[in-house]
Structure 1
Amino acid sequence: MSPSATPPWKLPATLAAGLGGGALLGWLAGGHPAAGIALVAIAEVVLLLTRIRHQDQIMMDASATATSLQHDRFMTRSRRLASNLRDLRNAVSKLPDAVVLLDEQQQIRWFNHAAENLLGLRRPQDRGVSLSQRLAGSELADWLRDGAREPLNDASAPGQANSQINLSLLPLGDHEQLLLAHDVSHLNRLEQTRRDFVSNVSHELRTPLTVIHGYLELLDPEDVPELAPVLGEMRAQSKRMGQIVEDLLTLSRLETQHEVVDERVPMEALLATVRKEAEALSQGRHRIVLESSAGVDLLGSPKDLHSALSNLASNAVRYTPAGGSITIRWQREPAGAVYSVSDTGFGIPASHLARLTERFYRVSSSRSRDTGGTGLGLSIVKHVLNLHQAQLQIQSAPGVGSTFSCHFGMARLLPPGNNDET
């Protein structure tokens, strides 16, 4: 049996037997049992040390093997992670959008090639530099100093003249941030081309439509009774075409306008006009109520505000069945004042609400045509409100009705009066 083969619980018995045998051999050899015991004890100690050394070697070999396996696994994972990071960095470097990695003090840690083109950054001298200081004097620097809580759209690109970018600042981990910049110059040019086309075509259509509508008005259905229905339909459609052209021209003007010439807008007079127009369109088919308790006027464009507020009231008339009710309200709220139009009409499914202000978007195309709508009214309302720093909110439910609310801030409110305040 090998030295390591003796079980631990047998060691005391084996040791006692060995010592007894040593004493007997010592007595037989010369009457010195103590010498025999000493020799056996030494031998047992040597044997025990051998066993301990052998077991330690086994444990060391096992530990070394386990450590080696762990090291190999760690190195494999490290190499795989490093490879993935290299691939990710190479991919980000080739993105057309600018990407800038910032630390918690907004100092530049890394940026891709697009950031060099769009933001004008240079390596290696810009690494470790504050981005707001590097772009001092630009719209982007002011945005960063203000906290960059909201995305910045259509900003001038510091690295490219006559280019516009959309910017976002995103948190990355606990102490870093990621700046993203997307070039929108091409999209803006396409949008401008579309606006120019719509405006030019609308202007060109206005004259022939006016001529056609004029001649149709000259024709008397009584002269040719069999053509009376045809002439009536032609007049209605030519009038509708004329309204579409006028709305397109209005929308084109609003889209290219960045501010309004502020004037006092007497709200009591405007609300009375809106109500009269709604009643004329309704022709007694609806109950129209006006509630005005705000006690303030507005600062803005009288023409544009009349267009927007009247659009909401006329839409309510068009999309509310006969016998329904429409309520026009002008009220104060903690942040300013709100103009709202509520109806008991068909209502709008929630899936359509987000797209209602798009050009020509209709929940029901046939119903919109039957009621004489152009599909541009809410888009005009949205642009007018944007020019007045106001917001449009829509609440609706099918079969219940809708409420369209225009929220104006305190800066747009004026005490009622007749003097011209700006």
Structure 2
Amino acid sequence: MPQRFLTSWRLPASCAALLLLGGAVGWLTGTVWPCVTVVALGETVVLLSLFRHKSGPMLQSSATPHPDHDRLMTRTRRIASRLRDLRSAAGTLPDAVVLLDHSHHVRWFNHAAEDLLGLKRPRDRGRVLADLMRNTDLSDWLAEGAREPLNDVTAPGHPNRHVTATLLPFGSRQRLLLARDTSHLTRLEQIRRDFVANVSHELRTPLTVIHGYLELLDPEDVPELAPVLDEMRAQSKRMGQIVEDLLTLSRLETQEHVADEQVQMAPLLASLRKEAEALSQGRHTISLDVATAHDLLGSPKDLHSAFSNLVSNAVRYTPTGGKIAIRWADTEDGARFSVHDSGFGIPAAHIARLTERFYRVSSSRSRDSGGTGLGLSIVKHVLNLHQARLVIESETGKGSVFACVFVSDRLLDSTRVHETAGLHG
């Protein structure tokens, strides 16, 4: 709509709200029709305003209709008909759309919101959305401010359906709630998890048998087959490790919490250093810096697995003569376990995808090093269960830093814990 018109005419508040809603839904859903709605609504408002402006003097000055009168009326009726069709289409969107005012009172919602969120017309118009969603995941999310999207939660009133919800700013102090049915994606994800877990279990036994028979074969008995037997043993061992990692991932994905235990960091860090030195076999300079006395609250087995993955990756991907530094230190709001290496570095384009299953920056280098491509996925899931996050910093040719950042709720004062244990002992 031309700027000079906006400054010359005062649009009705309801029309302005519809304009904003059409544009917002069009942008959020990526469809074309809301943009058409905006244009049509704008044109209708222009015509109606012009008609009100011109028709009054026309009728007052003469009993004969002005030539522009019929043309304006015909065009207005045509656009009004189109708007009715577009409004009907808006009501049939597959995603739930709810318009809220500044106090989160429901102003408008489409048919999908009735089905997916359980809203009813006209009963729920004007009511607070959090009250309507009481005792659901959406209620807690709204009460906490809904700053982040809510992913894969049970739909209100539908225990077998799942939704993803987003609350976006809209207009003047208003909000737009978008909810999408993700039940089919949840089912597909569960099928994938079950398939991976079942296949991994089924592969474990035959791989164990094959590896056992290979161990019985002595290369010295058949020297001409020695290289073949060595390669078969190495690949059999690697396949077994992939199966074990897949089973670990399947367990972590279905696990909702960990049994909290005290994880003593001093012996754990010493163990990690020994593992790194054994894997390196003197090819790297490995250092350990313990700058805090804090222990962790969590699963000792899972945390050792996550930290060990980061340390072994640093050894595998750092050239001979490089440096690897393991560090445990406090931060402003928690603590951080980090592994610094002077390796090849990782291009920025790859960093965001490093925690995906089997994702490799360099396939040939990863296979040569013996990695399974699942280590960082395991790290990510372990940290999620401990309310921690993985931070990756890297620059090509200058090495990398992989850090596990823990919140203060996961920290224990090791000195106080040890003293208390001594008193009770």
The TM-score with structure 1 as length reference comes to 0.80
Aligned partner of 1:262: which letter? D
For each residue in 1:155-210, what CA deviation from the matched residue of structure 2 results, as whole angstroms up to 9, or x when unmatched? 21114231111111111111321111111111111111111111111111111111
Aligned-pair CA distance for 1:276 = 0.8
Q: Distance in 1 between matches of 2:135 and 2:324?
A: 52
Give the one of 198, 213, 216 matched to 1:215.
213
Counterpart of 1:412 in structure 2 is: 410
8 Å contact kept, 1:92–1:99:
no
Counterpart of 2:388 in structure 1 is: 390
For each residue in 1:312-351, what CA deviation from the matched residue of structure 2 results, as whole angstroms up to 9, or x when unmatched? 0000011111111111110111011000001111111111
Distance 1:279 1:182, change over 3 A: same
1:205 and 2:203 correspond? yes
For each residue in 1:207-243, what CA deviation from the matched residue of structure 2 results, as whole angstroms up to 9, or x when unmatched? 1111111111111111111111001000000000010
8 Å contact kept, 1:263–1:420:
no
Counterpart of 2:362 in structure 1 is: 364
Give the one of 110, 113, 116 matched to 1:115.
113
Distance 1:76 1:375, change over 3 A: farther
8 Å contact kept, 1:117–1:159:
no
Q: Distance in 2 between matches of 1:326 and 1:75?
A: 79
Aligned-pair CA distance for 1:109 = 1.5
Counterpart of 2:376 in structure 1 is: 378
Aligned-pair CA distance for 1:281 = 0.9
Counterpart of 1:155 in structure 2 is: 153
Distance 1:72 1:133, change over 3 A: farther
SS at match of 1:317: helix
Counterpart of 1:320 in structure 2 is: 318
Q: Distance in 2 between matches of 1:84 and 1:326?
A: 67
Give the one of 94, 97, 115 matched to 2:95.
97
Counterpart of 2:235 in structure 1 is: 237
Aligned-pair CA distance for 1:108 = 1.4
Q: Distance in 2 between matches of 1:84 and 1:345?
A: 63
Q: Distance in 2 between matches of 1:187 and 1:342?
A: 38
8 Å contact kept, 1:296–1:415:
yes
Q: Distance in 2 between matches of 1:291 and 1:183?
A: 48
Aligned partner of 2:252: which letter? L
Counterpart of 1:3 in structure 2 is: none
8 Å contact kept, 1:350–1:396:
yes
Q: Distance in 2 between matches of 1:249 and 1:268?
A: 29
The TM-score with structure 2 as length reference comes to 0.80
Counterpart of 1:268 in structure 2 is: 266
Counterpart of 2:400 in structure 1 is: 402
8 Å contact kept, 1:98–1:115:
yes
For each residue in 1:374-397, what CA deviation from the matched residue of structure 2 results, as whole angstroms up to 9, or x when unmatched? 000000000000000001010111
Aligned pairs for 1:9-408 (under 5 A) are 82=80, 85-408=83-406
SS at match of 1:299: strand
Distance 1:278 1:99, change over 3 A: same
Q: Distance in 1 between matches of 2:67 and 2:319?
A: 79
Q: Distance in 2 between matches of 1:366 and 1:153?
A: 36
Structure 1 regions of 5+ residues with no counterpart?
1-59
8 Å contact kept, 1:119–1:159:
yes
SS at match of 1:162: strand
Aligned-pair CA distance for 1:82 = 4.8
Aligned partner of 2:378: which letter? I
SS at match of 2:126: coil
Aligned-pair CA distance for 1:104 = 1.6
Distance 1:273 1:75, change over 3 A: farther
Distance 1:173 1:320, change over 3 A: same
Aligned-pair CA distance for 1:72 = 8.2
Q: Distance in 1 between matches of 2:70 and 2:102?
A: 36
Q: Distance in 1 between matches of 2:231 and 2:285?
A: 29
Distance 1:302 1:90, change over 3 A: same
SS at match of 1:355: coil
Identity %: 69
Q: Distance in 1 between matches of 2:76 and 2:130?
A: 36
Q: Distance in 2 between matches of 1:345 and 1:81?
A: 65
Distance 1:74 1:404, change over 3 A: farther
Aligned partner of 2:147: which letter? R
SS at match of 1:242: helix
For each residue in 1:256-300, what CA deviation from the matched residue of structure 2 results, as whole angstroms up to 9, or x when unmatched? 000000000010100111111111111111111111111110000
8 Å contact kept, 1:164–1:184:
yes
Q: Distance in 1 between matches of 2:283 and 2:335?
A: 30
SS at match of 1:115: helix
Aligned-pair CA distance for 1:92 = 2.5
User: Which has the greater radius of gyration?
Assistant: 1
For each residue in 1:103-131, what CA deviation from the matched residue of structure 2 results, as whole angstroms up to 9, or x when unmatched? 22211121111111111111122222221
Aligned-pair CA distance for 1:88 = 4.2
**TM-align CA RMSD:** 2.4
Distance 1:86 1:294, change over 3 A: farther
Q: Distance in 2 between matches of 1:230 and 1:123?
A: 74
Aligned length: 360
Moved more, 220-229 or 121-130: 121-130
